[in-house]
Amino acid sequence: MREVAVLGTGMTRFGELWDRSFREIGIEAGLQALVDAKLSSKDLSALYLGSMASGPLLDQEHIAPLILDYAGLAGRHLPAIRIEGGGASGALALHQGYLAVASGQYDYVVVGGAEKLTDVPDTTGNQIASASADHEWEVVFGATLPALWALIARRHMHQYGTTPEQLAQVAVHAHAMGAKNPLAHYRNRLTVAQVLGASRVAEPLGMFDCAPLSDGAAAVVLGPLSEAKRHTDTPIRIAASSVATDTMALQHRRDPTVLESTRVAAQNAFRAARLTPSDVQVAEIHDGYTISALVALEDLGFVEKGQAGPAFERGEFTGRGRLMMNPSGGLKAQGRPFGAVGVAQVVEIVRQLRGAAGDRQVPNVRVGLTHDVGGTGATSVVHLLERGEP
């Protein structure tokens, strides 16, 4: 397999972008990434686009050629392919872009992720947002995604003594980082008291335990590592790209506090890259709900099962340990436009590894990880990214 590098990044602001269309934000992110990679559209071989629910949201499927078209590139007749896997759609698109370049069939590929969630009246509780859970065994009975993650939280509390305060710390950290991120949906700081006092969504999760629904797009340009020096002074190698799945319905898992798909994807990624969790200095981790991040930290191997709560409280993932989690603000503060999330995570890690993350730069980073989840973990995707030697 050919080695693959990230050569450029692009990203719109995340938030309620009511004055901008799906097409516009997709194009903005993609063109930014091309410019950043010092490529013109003439060099491009293909587009992969991650998006979860363009059909129900926009009455529009077939969105990958749509974005190429409205970027003025229809005349190039390039391959343009949409990838879908619930909230993990963006990370899966990256996996496909990675394989496309690794295979040798394509040289320079734009991987984008885009979603426009705030133009429809009620995405939260309804079937659009929960369509990544099991419709026949969960959603028809009223189990929305927040409700399912609340079950995971309850069980984690019962089994390991995790506290509401520990969960709240995840949100507080997210907003502290979001405050430093000019592209973040939320830039206000939160206190533990505010998180605990917020109105309840699904006990024990309150409003501030849940990531928002956002509009936004992100993109990266991938190419062969061997060519990378021609495009950037700081090529970032994709050391591993790994996907794993699990049962759709939470009730069918042996232990609801374990994301087996995350465990398997992480183990495969670390093995492929010949790295271990202790090699990672910065990670963008799925925190769709505060509990999601704690569970993921455990299943990715950064802390023992059941110990993420106390470790988080001690600051081990927020500046006082080896690993900085979610310097972007994560899904909670940077925002959650489903299909864009997995790509935005990679944008952040690449910017961190390049030393170009502005106010939120983590010092001395060489290896970064991204972790994206669909549903309650029926899909997990893990990428390991590594800065080349200078």
224 binds a second copy (CB under 8 A): no
Q: For residues 242 and 265, is the Cβ–Cβ distance under 8 A?
A: yes
- Letters for 11-50 (x = contact with a second copy by CB under 8 A, - = none) are -----------------------------------x----
Window of 35-43, 99-107, 296-304, 329-337 that interacts with a second copy by CB under 8 A: 99-107
- Best CA proximity match to 286, nearest among 305, 275, 299: 299
Window of 188-196, 211-219, 245-253, 279-287 that interacts with a second copy by CB under 8 A: 245-253
84 binds a second copy (CB under 8 A): yes
Question: Can you read off the two tokens belonging to residue 33?
Answer: 């990434």
How far apart CA 390 and CA 65 sit, in angstroms, is: 38
Nearer to a second copy, 166 or 380 (CB): 380
Q: For residues 74 and 80, is the Cβ–Cβ distance under 8 A?
A: no
134 binds a second copy (CB under 8 A): yes
131 binds a second copy (CB under 8 A): yes
Question: Can you read off the two tokens belonging to residue 300?
Answer: 């990715």
How far apart CA 236 and CA 238 sit, in angstroms, is: 7
Q: For residues 349 and 284, is the Cβ–Cβ distance under 8 A?
A: yes
Window of 56-64, 173-181, 319-327, 350-358 that interacts with a second copy by CB under 8 A: 56-64
207 binds a second copy (CB under 8 A): no
Among 16, 31, 43, 99, binds a second copy (CB under 8 A): 99
| Phi-psi category of residue 321: left, alpha or beta, with phi > 0 → left and psi -120 to 50 → alpha | beta
Window of 228-236, 306-314, 327-335, 374-382 that interacts with a second copy by CB under 8 A: 374-382
Q: Half-sphere exposure of 24 toward its Cβ, with a 13 Å CA cutoff?
A: 8
Q: For residues 164 and 203, is the Cβ–Cβ distance under 8 A?
A: no
How far apart CA 196 and CA 41 sit, in angstroms, is: 49
How far apart CA 268 and CA 300 sit, in angstroms, is: 11
Question: Can you read off the two tokens belonging to residue 84?
Answer: 């879908």
378 binds a second copy (CB under 8 A): yes
Nearer to a second copy, 254 or 320 (CB): 254
Question: Can you read off the two tokens belonging to residue 381?
Answer: 């995707």
245 binds a second copy (CB under 8 A): yes
Read off the amino acid at residue 91. Answer: A
Question: Can you read off the two tokens belonging to residue 311?
Answer: 């470790």
61 binds a second copy (CB under 8 A): yes
- Letters for 257-276 (x = contact with a second copy by CB under 8 A, - = none) are ---xx--xx-----------
Among 24, 31, 55, 176, binds a second copy (CB under 8 A): 55
Q: Residues in the site for a second copy, rule: CB under 8 A?
A: 1, 46, 52-53, 55-56, 58-62, 64-66, 68-69, 74, 77-86, 92, 95-96, 99-100, 102-105, 127-128, 131-136, 139, 243-249, 252, 260-261, 264-265, 374-375, 378-379
